[in-house]
Structures are given as structure tokens and as C-alpha cells.
Amino acid sequence: MKAKCLLVAATVVALTLGTAQTALADNSSTGSIGAVQVGNVAATPSAGTSQSGTTAAVSAPTSIAGTGDNTASNSVGAVQAGGGNMSSGSTGSVQSSPVSSSPSASAGASGQSASAGAPMTVGGSGSNTASSSTGAVQLGGGNSSAGSGGVAQAGSAQAAPAVGASIVGEAVSASFPVGVSGSGNNATASNGALQLGGGNTVARSSLAAQSGAISAGSSAGAGGTAASNPITVGSGGTNSAADSVGSAQVGGGNTSSGSTGTVQSGPVNASPSGGGSPGSTPTSVGTFGLTSPLAAASPAAAAPTPAAAAGVPLQGNGTVEGGPKRSVRKTFGQTKTPAGSPPVLDQLPYTGLGLLLFVVLGLGLLASGLGTRARFGT
């Protein structure tokens, strides 16, 4: 009997734990007008069709998920989604927990297929807080706005659109990933501030745009050939603007204080690359593009002549071992140009005299003859 009771108790505990759901965020609005609050949201819309060997499908799973409660106190028109959002004494604030979406589409017919996708996320850690602010927009997490107006803040963001296809047995693909990294955006007593990624701080400033380190690039492949072009801007750190107007900071590690019209950027790096399948001609790629194929020497030009390889002296260049050295003789009629110098095209053959001198002399004699003929007549 005791064993049966223990078995029933264990079963109840297992069922309870197995069916437990994530705790939902609580929504609280105090002294506020027109507040809209929604907890975590997830949706997976999709559609597909198949007819006469042709298929097509689309889907767009999307979710907004956060931890903590949504709180609006003494605010007007506050909109909060997910969890961990707080608005106090603010007007027209929009706050959202991290957002993720992965829309995709695919189609196929007669052995051919194509697909496309564009997964993206706007993340960040921590809560979104707007106090005594107007028109604050906060996405992801770790965003703070105090006494500011027209502030837009977003946590670290990633997007990776890609396309692919299989045509006549050949696979082709391309992708264009881009991302902004960092964590934590802070705006205090500022107007018109845009902060992306994280590590951005603006105080008592107007028209400031700040972004964490940016990574972007493109890649493509077809058959056995592939190429990519990754680019990064900045390596992290903090962007700071205080008492400034019109500041733009990208990449991290930038500081502006009491400035007007300042543009600052972290280091920019690009490393394009390309390659092919075995047996194909390799392509040399540098930072600024493809290396010119003319840089490589021609095999025919580099190969020695049979006479030179056998050690036989060439015609006109004969020497006697142990005899006095003589200058190398030139072919009859060839201008004696120093070794290594480019050929001279403005000299008379066999003389080395400047051609321009004789042209001027001839024109002078022609003009003199015409003048004499006009003066005395014929």
C-alpha cells in the first residue's frame, strides 16, 4: 500500500513538471492613460501548396519574449510588449523585449528548386526604462531614456538574408549577413538620439547617432567556386557624446564633449576572398579587389632560348675567353639605347639626333622660301 502511494505521488510530480509553462509577465498600469501592455507573443504563420509537380511554401515564425513585468506609471500612450519594460511619467513611449523572426519561402518544379530566407533578431540584455521622456522607442533590452525626447534605442541586432537555388543540377547561393553588436544604451536629457547595438551613452545632446561595432558582408557560390567579402567597422568599446550637437559615432571607442558636427568611426577592415574547385585557375584577391592577371610574367617570356640554355653565345655578342672585354654590338641601324631604358621614338635612325630639331628647321626653311617667293614673285 505504501509503495502504491509513493508511485502515485511520483506520477503526479512528473506530470506537473512535464506540463509546466514559462511564467507569463504581469502587466501593471498606475495613473496612466491609453496604456497598451502585452506579454510574450509567438506566432508561426505558414502556407504551402503542391500541384502537378510544383510546390511552394512560405512561413514567418515570429516571437517577442522577455522576462519581468511590464509597468506603466503616470504615463500617456505607453505601449509595452514582452516583459521587463518600464515607463514612468512618459508620453508616447514604445517598448519591446527581444524580437526574433525567420521568414522564408521556397518553390520547386521539374527538378529545379529555389529558396530564400531572412532570419533576424533584435536582442539585448536587461530591461527597457523610459522616465520623464517623450516619444521614446526601445527595442530588445538594456535601453534607458531619462528626460529625453525623440529617442530611438535598439539592442544588438542580427540579420542574415540568403537565397539559394538548384538549376540544371548546379547549386548556387548567396547571403548577406549584417550585425550590430554591443549591450546597453543610455540617453539622458537629450533630443533626437539614435542608438544601435550597445555601449552608447548620450547626455544633454541633440541629434546624436551612435552605433556599436558593425559587421557586414556578402558571400556567393556556384558549383565549385565561392567568394566572400566580410567587412567590419570598429571593435567594440563605448561611444560617448556629452553637451554636443550633431554627433555621429560608429564602431565604439569614440568620445565627443561640447562639440558640434562631429563624425567618429572605429577602424574599418575588409578581407575579400575567393576560390575555385581543384583544377581551376586560382584568383588572387586583395583588400581593394582582384589582383591584375597582367602582374604575372608570361611563361613564353620567362622561358630561356635553347641557345642560352646550352651556353652558346648569341650572334653579335661573341666574346673570347680570356680576351679583352668589348661592348655589346648592336644590330645595324638600331639606336644605341642604354640597357634598361625604354625605346626612344623621337630620334632619327642611325644618328641619335633629335627629330624635333629637324622638323623645326624644315618648317623654318619652308616659311623662308614662301616669303622670298611672295616678295620677288616668279
- Summarize pLDDT for 266-323 with one digit per residue, the tens: 999 998 888 765 544 444 333 333 333 333 343 444 444 444 444 444 444 444 444 4
For the cut 70, the answer to whether the pLDDT of residue 366 exceeds it is yes
**Residue 338 pLDDT class (50, 70, 90 cuts):** low
Of the candidates 90, 185, 202, 192, which has an alpha carbon nearest to the alpha carbon of residue 140? 185
DSSP structure string for 289-312: EEPPGGGSPPHHHHSPPHHHHHTP
Instruction: Name 175's bridge partners.
Output: 162, 219
Average pLDDT over every residue of 190-214: 96
Q: Are 138 and 145 in contact (CB under 8 A)?
A: yes
The predicted pLDDT at position 291 comes to 33
3-state secondary structure of 366: helix
Query: Which CA distances in Å does 187 have to 23, 145, 165, 263?
Result: 31, 5, 45, 18
- Residue 34's CB: how many other CB atoms inside 10 A? 13
φ, ψ dihedrals at 360, nearest 5°: -65, -45
- Quick one: pLDDT at residue 313? 47
- Judge whether 101 and 60 are in contact, CB under 8 Å: yes
- Which residue type sits at 264? Q
User: What is the structure's pLDDT at 364?
Assistant: 72
Report d(CA 174, CA 159) in Å as an integer: 14
DSSP 219-275: EEEETTEEEE--EEE-----EEEES-EEEEEESS-EEEES-EEEEEE--EEE--EEE
Average model confidence (pLDDT) across the chain:
79
Task: Please report which confidence band the pLDDT of residue 140 belongs to, taking 50, 70 and 90 as the band edges.
Answer: very high
Nearest to 127 by CA among 69, 73, 182: 69
State which fold the 65-97+122-160+176-218+229-271 domain adopts.
Answer: UDP N-Acetylglucosamine Acyltransferase; domain 1 (2.160.10)
Query: What was the pLDDT predicted at 90?
Result: 96
Place of cell 640554355: 309
For residue 115, count other CB atoms closer than 10 A to its CB.
Answer: 16
- What integer pLDDT is reported at residue 353 of this predicted model? 61
pLDDT of residue 329: 53
Give mean pLDDT, residues 22-27.
63
Query: CA 360, 361, 362, 367: dihedral to nearest 10 degrees?
Result: 90
pLDDT of residue 235: 83
Nearest Cα neighbor of 106 from 148, 69, 56 is: 56
Averaged pLDDT, 23-38: 86
Q: Which of 130-134, 203-207, 372-376 has the lowest mean pLDDT?
A: 372-376
Q: Is the pLDDT of residue 260 over 60?
A: yes
Tell me, what's the pLDDT at 201? 97
Predicted confidence at residue 236, as pLDDT, reads 83
Sole residue written with cell 512561413: 59
pTM of the model: 0.66
Q: What is the pLDDT of residue 47?
A: 96
* For range 159-178, the mean pLDDT: 91
| φ/ψ (deg, to 5) at 363 | -65, -35
Strands 185-188 and 200-203: parallel
